[in-house]
Structure 1
Amino acid sequence: MAVLHNRVSQKELKEQLLKETESRTTISFYNYFHIGDPKAFRDEMYKALHTLRVFGRIYVAHEGINAQISVPTANLDAFTSYLNSIEPLKDLRLNLAVDDHGKSFWVLKIKVRDKIVADGIKDTSFDMRNKGKYVNAEQFNELTKDPETIVIDMRNHYEYEVGHFENAIEIPSDTFREQLPMAVDMMKENKDKNIIMYCTGGIRCEKASAYMLHSGFKNVFHLEGGIINYANKIKEEGLDNKFRGKNFVFDDRLGERIGDEIIAKCHQCGKPCDTHVNCANDGCHLLFIQCEECAAKYDKCCSKECQDFIHLPVEEQKELRKGVDKGRNIFNKSRARLRPKLGE
């Protein structure tokens, strides 16, 4: 019987990954295309990628595929051949990680979802085929020389905080589904201006560009391959880098360096820092920015309360964590939903 799901514990898999000596390449890709039977598509892909020892997170839906993975470098050609055997994925642009240590994922998860990126769009007349125009790195740099060009960041607030393009407008939200109507509302007086949208790898800004056109905007562009592809192209082509700071990524790295600047601050002491971490307390796991000094001071915890908690006996910790729903536990500085100052 073919393997269709992982049956090894996450802890064991991570330990195995850390012991690996072979090189791995972190890749992201997506494509909007119709999949008639997402479950069957998912199962066939799992069998193929499991054989190639691919790790990562892939979402499959009727509207297409969204993937962030790591592939043994020795298997890259076989992996590419497999993608090319699927007609809608043939010769697809693959975004190679910029700052890659090869330890980004340690398990393969392929999930069937309603959407490959949750958008909250209910209007049945919305059509992804009517999307904005691609701009490459060179075109992006040229268009943004015009002060009338508007650049919109379609990522979450914590992504924007550590890095973004010069003069980019933040849509201050926790989720993409909230951002779409907010972007339309914020730009309602600029319907005839050039608007460039961008995100990490292209999937969100591509859908956002289609939504803006659907909402009556005229000159909408989106950055091809997002920040990741931009960073690779400026190096290859010797272009000026208009991105400042770090690009947040949704894997174990939590970020890759694009610009040399550190534009964020430690959420505990306020020193310049752009290192995202998860609180060491398993009952918290708050995602926040922490410098090395505060990591040592608080034992990698977000607060004295969590620091005290992790030093309790393990069984007592487990008992106290029962029934705790962490939800989307992310420090939102702009809304001050959590502690006014971390560490206290």
Structure 2
Amino acid sequence: MPVLHNRVSNEELKARMLAETEPRVTVSFYKYFPITNPQAFRDDLYVKFEQIKVFGRIYIAEEGINAQVSVPQSNFESFKTILYSQAAELDGIRLNIAVDDDGKSFWVLRLKVRNKIVADGIDDPTFNLSRVGKYLKADEVNQMIDDKETIFVDMRNHYEYEVGHFERAIEVPSDTFREQLPMAAEMLKDQKDKNIVMYCTGGIRCEKASAYMMHQGFENIFHVEGGIIEYARKAKEQGLPVKFIGKNFVFDERLGERITEDIISECHQCGAPCDTHTNCNNDGCHLLFIQCEQCKATYDGCCSAECTDEYHLPVEEQRERRAGRENGVKIFNKSKDHPLRKHRSEWAQERKDA
């Protein structure tokens, strides 16, 4: 029986990926459709993708599949053949090809079975995921942005919106998608007569969000087909004005795709114009934050002087210090209320008032 999971260290796998010379293609896709045996589906797909050296992150659930992967260019047609033949619902599925891609997005293949491919907090048995809003192609998105009465709603997290978003788009200020759904419905409850366009990175969240809004009694609901990734690719292919400003946050090693040259966010440490996300180098922290090159040098890629000091301690002492706090508030914390962001927000307001 083949091994159905990775047994090599992350360090070695990353080194192997960086040493590769063949170009890779970063692609994302999703599909809501019933999968009766997610574990068997997962195991079969793992064997097939592992054979053609697909890397990436794939979630399987009874409600469908969600994936972000990196594929060797020479195996791309084989990848599509495998995917399209895996289930009738996947035949010809839309593939979102990365816009700004060096092929170094993933270094290991991880397939996981989950309860849902997008955690939504919905437990209403009458919720109909198949009743979604109308899809919008790139030219239609631009037309609706130009209509000042249309409301654009960003269904991504705060740290994604911060570095890039569509013109006039409103943020639903929350840390998780499950929080956003009822919050969006509440924010827009008096706007049910207007056209509402929802969007996200690749389409998976805004598709479910559009179904949720329809379930809440909204009728004029639209969502961007393929999300920001597909919109940007099609807009550039068709020579359309690009109405998304800044950078599109992505959940892989790149942490962002450059859509336009606009920088609309600031370094969380000094306030300089910057939209480069990083994770704190301190293994006891790994906070996701925005850091400019100057602060990166000053703090050695850490989020604070405290973390810089800890980062330079002997490895054993670092482990002793973080023992018992691995699940503390700073570990991989992306919250909009994290002290670093609160400090930056207050600092920015003080500068504005000066």
8 Å contact from structure 2 (residues 282, 307) kept in 1: yes
Q: Is structure 2 residue 50 aligned with structure 1 residue 50?
A: yes
Amino acid at match of 1:183: A
**Contact residue 268 and residue 340 of structure 2 kept, 8 A:** no
CA distance change for structure 1 residues 66 and 171 in 2, over 3 Å: closer, same or farther?
A: same
Structure 2 spans left out of the alignment, 5+ residues: 348-354
Quote the residue 2:165 is aligned against: 164
Identity over the aligned pairs, expressed in percent? 64
Cα deviation for residue 330 of structure 1 reads 3.2
User: CA deviation digits over 1:107-141, x for unaligned, max 9?
Assistant: 00000000000000010100111010100010011
* CA apart distance, 1:339: 6.5
Report the AA paired with residue 5 of structure 1: H
Q: Which residue of 1 aligns with 2:144?
A: 143
* Secondary structure of residue in 2 paired with 1:21: coil
Cα distance in structure 1, aligned partners of 2:194 and 2:56: 39
3-state secondary structure, aligned to 1:241: coil
Tell me the equivalent position of 2:255: 254
Letter paired with 1:341: H
Within-5 A mapping of 1:115-134: 115-134=116-135
Report the Cα offset of residue 341 of structure 1. 3.3
Question: Partner residue of 1:330?
Answer: 333
Q: Map 1:66-105; keep pairs closer than 5 Å.
A: 66-86=66-86, 87-105=88-106
Q: Equivalences for 1:10-21 in 2 at 5 Å?
A: 10-21=10-21
Q: Which residue of structure 1 lines up, in the alignment, with residue 201 of structure 2?
A: 200
Q: Distance in 2 between matches of 1:217 and 1:192?
A: 8
Cα-to-partner distance string for 1:184-203 (whole Å, 9 max, x where unaligned): 00000011210000000000
Letter in 2 for 1:8: V
Contact 2:249-2:256 within 8 A present in 1 as well:
yes
Q: Report if the CA contact (8 A) 2:175-2:334 is conserved.
A: no
SS of the aligned residue for 1:92 comes to coil
Quick one: which amino acid aligns to residue 310 of structure 2? Answer: F
> What residue number does 2:110 align with?
109
1:34 aligns with 2:27: no
Local SS of the residue matching 1:317: helix
2:343 aligned counterpart, secondary structure = coil
- SS of residue paired to 2:146: coil
Deviation per CA, 1:301-324: give whole Å up to 9, x if none: 100000110111111111112222
Aligned residues: 342
Q: Which residue of 1 aligns with 2:318?
A: 317
CA distance in 2, matches of 1:339, 1:197: 26
- Which residue does the alignment assign to 1:174? 175
Residue pair 1:283, 1:326 contacting (<8 A) in 2 also: no
Aligned-pair CA distance for 1:3: 2.1
Unmatched tracts of structure 1, length 5 or more? none
Superposition map of 1:254-293 within 5 A: 254-293=255-294
Residues 29 and 94, structure 2, Cα contact 8 Å, conserved in 1:
yes
- Give the distance between the partners of 1:136 and 1:148, measured in 2 at CA: 19
Task: Look up the equivalent residue of 1:252 and give its one-letter code.
Answer: E
Tell me the equivalent position of 1:341: 343
Question: Aligned-residue CA RMSD in angstroms?
Answer: 1.3
Moved over 4 A (4+): 336-340
Higher helix residue share: 2
**Match for 2:306: what amino acid?**
E
Indicate how the Cα distance of structure 1 residues 326 and 11 shifts in structure 2: closer, same or farther if over 3 A, else same.
Answer: farther
- Alpha-carbon deviations, 1:236-258, whole Å to 9, x = none? 10001101100000000000100
Amino acid at match of 2:333: I
Residues in 1 aligned to 2:280 and 2:312: alpha-carbon distance in whole angstroms = 14
Q: Deviation at 1:84?
A: 1.6
Q: Which residue of 1 aligns with 2:350?
A: none
CA distance in 1, matches of 2:191, 2:177: 21
Q: 1:235 to 1:310 in 2, by over 3 A?
A: same
TM-score, normalised by the number of residues in structure 2: 0.94
How far does residue 332 in structure 1 lie from its aligned partner after superposition? 4.4
SS at match of 2:218: coil
Amino acid at match of 2:50: H
TM-superposed deviation, 1:329:
3.3
